[in-house]
Structure 1
Amino acid sequence: MNDFKIVFSGTTGAGKTTAIAAISEIPPVKTDVLNTDDTLDKAYTTVGLDYGEITLSNNERLRLFGTPGQERFEFMWRIVVRDALGLVILIDNSRAAPLEDLSLYVHAFRSALDTVPCVVGVGRTEHHTRPSIDDFADHLASFNLSLPIIPVDVRQKDDVTTLLHILLAQIESDVHTS
């Protein structure tokens, strides 16, 4: 069986743990602890790595790694993305400055984005319509990046599966154009 790494990264509260739990075939490994940061509206937060797995029909396994979202763990993001087949960046559109949040991850993963296919999932767009998906695309264009960006509800298996399908289509396209 061939194993491939997919990394989920993004802002605290964007749903990395939830997304992995929604699609993993195994009970996900979580490293959540009681949140002591009163600026975050959540009871628990990830301080290590989340982990899950999906077996593809061709007997290949996707190993799903979720990073902690706090900026102080940025050093970890660059380590985890090494040798990754793909990257999913999740942004919470209900936060004060989601475009700035995206900038943080673009800067952190800039060198990886030259070789690692990536998709951006924007959550909580149903009640927070601004910035729009087009605004995110324009923002990425300011970095000379053109990445798929889709609204996502990480609680919904179908939404997370769509993110992975888009990512895997990019990977497949890269294989055939190399």
Structure 2
Amino acid sequence: MANGQERHKILFIGPVGAGKTTAIAAASDKAVVCTDVAVSDMTRVRKPRTTIALDYGVTNLTDGRRVHLYGAPGQERFDFMWEILREGISGLAILIDNSRRSPFDDLGFYLRWRHSFAFSGKMAVGVSFTDRSPLPGLGEYRDFLRGQQQDAPVCAVDARRREDVHRLLHTLLAA
């Protein structure tokens, strides 16, 4: 801790289009480092640009904690960046797009990835796009996590809203 201020490194991970870049931009108190490029594959149907390396921002929470926000690319072909970005994380924020065909398959994939490097730190699940697709509900996500022997808070997140992202961060850090 520098200057008595508690610092955290939170990694946002999830499928393409779940809102990682948007969430970091909404929450950051500084200009965001963003490595988005024009999409050149089937991701075009979801969005025009995609992250190829990382997103980075910093936010100061109301309780004085300084949080460094890192966003991993959603495409598996960039998974080498996941390995780099996971170093030294104090928390994992998994964003899941509720409007995708199989959001539980997506969540299961990221839970297995977390397990693959034996990360036992704090984790929270943010469910985005509940306005487009209200089902499955948050209770179903909690049931899924219990079935995977995982204990993590789950909350709905509109990645465009700073308050929602901050709520996810507070929830994660309190887990």
**Fold equivalence (TM over 0.5):** yes
Equivalent residue of 1:78, what SS? Answer: helix
Match of 1:47 in 2: 52
Give deviations 1:48-92, integer Å, cap 9, x for gaps. 010001235676532111000112223332331221111100000
Match of 2:9 in 1: 5
Contact 1:48 1:68 in 2 (8 A): yes
Match of 2:71 in 1: 66
User: Does residue 26 of structure 2 align to residue 22 of structure 1?
Assistant: yes
Quick one: which of 138, 144, 154 aligns to 1:133? Answer: 138
Give deviations 1:22-50, integer Å, cap 9, x for gaps. 01111100000001123441010000010
Structure 1 60/131 Cα, relative in aligned 2: closer, same or farther at 3 Å?
closer
Contact 2:61 2:166 in 1 (8 A): no
Equivalent residue of 1:12, what SS? Answer: coil
Aligned length: 170
Q: 1:3 Cα shift?
A: 3.9
For 1:120 and 1:158, locate their aligned partners in 2 and report how far apart those are by CA, in whole Å: 16
Percent sequence identity is: 44
Match of 1:175 in 2: none
* Greater than 4 Å deviation, 4+ residue runs: 56-60, 111-114
For 1:126 and 1:56, locate their aligned partners in 2 and report how far apart those are by CA, in whole Å: 26
For 1:118 and 1:148, locate their aligned partners in 2 and report how far apart those are by CA, in whole Å: 8
Structure 1 139/56 Cα, relative in aligned 2: closer, same or farther at 3 Å?
closer
Quick one: which of 35, 38, 62 aligns to 2:39? Answer: 35
Superposition TM-score, scaled by structure 1 size: 0.87
Equivalent residue of 1:121, what SS? Answer: strand
Match for 2:27: what amino acid?
I
For 1:30 and 1:123, locate their aligned partners in 2 and report how far apart those are by CA, in whole Å: 20
Give deviations 1:126-155, integer Å, cap 9, x for gaps. 221222212211211121002101111000
Contact 1:77 1:108 in 2 (8 A): no
For 2:118 and 2:103, locate their aligned partners in 1 and report how far apart those are by CA, in whole Å: 19
* RMSD (Å) for aligned C-alpha atoms: 1.8
Match for 1:5: what amino acid?
K
The runs of 5 or more residues in structure 1 that have no matched partner are: 171-178
